[in-house]
Amino acid sequence: MEKIPLVDELIVVDSRSTDATAVRAAAAGATVVRQDDVLPDLPPLSGKGEALWKGLAASKGDVVVFADSDLRNFGAHFISGLLGPLLTRPGVQFVKGAYERPFIGPDGVAQRGAGGRVTELVARPLLNLYWPELAGFIQPLGGEYAARREVLEQVPFVTEYGVEFGLLVDLLERVGLDAMAQVDLGCREHSHQTTAALGRMAGQIILTAWSRLERQGRIVASEPPATGLLQFDADGQATLSDVGVAERPPLASVTRAAADGGRRLTDLVEPTVTGAPAIRDLDRTGAPAEETLT
């Protein structure tokens, strides 16, 4: 940022971290924003999509870049690569990162192409079945992407791990495939989650897809899908998790409501397709800090 005046602000959203994330980010020169300090009149929620939505609200730039904070091989090309199409092609509204995702095993050995398990088992089949126009996106669940602010403010953000899936589908409907691009960023290494955690993520993505299909009038159900996920460990012990999804509304609608003295932000509370009350949001699992660059 100091050598090349390309990025105007670097924001790290502290999603209620309990470690030294915020302190280290601030020491490195980033602007650290506590998630609950952004739009504080809204009910406090949590999760990856919530951190991204709050980061969008806290930023000022006309172009916004999102990057996951658990990358092990982050480089400046992640940012410049995503910005390239937006700065050189006026018709491009959204850019998604594409890369190889190796799986780093317990022995530290990288297995090429073995990462992105939820992508291959859940997201990619869903996209090919119902939104084949999006099948060409190599990493539909990847956390590195950029877009013009005016477009991001017009779409809702799922607050759980379905946020990337939801954004792809919603942006396709809003701006069309010709306004969406992807760039090759090489290789992406990141921290891996447990199989159980991936199962919960898969449930959230499936429910995100369900909500879009229902919203588009492509499915009609007599009742909403269940949101409980029963999982078993190696000893047969059961754990029941709520993987229900909901979403924050388009940011533009919230800022309009805030400017309207006759309407309170809390009036935006409404039930979701899964029956979960919130400002179109239901997120219970804290996420690591997210980076937003504008």
Whether residue 44 is predicted with pLDDT greater than 90 in this model: the reply is no
287 residue type, one letter: A
153 residue type, one letter: E
pTM: 0.86
Domain that holds residue 123: 10-293
Q: Are 118 and 204 in contact (CB under 8 A)?
A: no
Q: 83: left (phi > 0), else alpha (psi -120 to 50), else beta?
A: alpha
Q: Which residues pair with 147 in a beta bridge?
A: 64, 94
For the segment 24-38, what is each residue's pLDDT rounded down to a tens digit?
999 999 999 999 999
Beta strands 110-111 and 103-104, pairing class: antiparallel
Whether residue 279 is predicted with pLDDT greater than 50 in this model: the reply is no
For the segment 220-243, what is each residue's pLDDT rounded down to a tens digit?
989 999 999 999 999 999 999 999
In a domain, 2, yes or no: no
Q: What Å distances lie between residue 198 and 41, 121, 276, 286, CA to CA?
A: 32, 11, 22, 15
In a domain, 145, yes or no: yes
Q: Are 188 and 73 in contact (CB under 8 A)?
A: yes
In a domain, 4, yes or no: no
Domain count, the chain: 1
Q: Interhelix angle for 163-175 vs 195-215, to 10°?
A: 30
Q: What is the CATH number of the domain that holds 120?
A: 3.90.550.10
Residue 231: CB partners within 8 Å, gap ≥ 6? 196, 199, 200, 238, 239, 240, 241
For the segment 61-110, what is each residue's pLDDT rounded down to a tens digit?
999 999 988 776 778 888 999 999 999 999 999 999 998 877 666 666 66
The tokens describing 98, both together, are 């594409």
| Residue 45 confidence (pLDDT) | 81
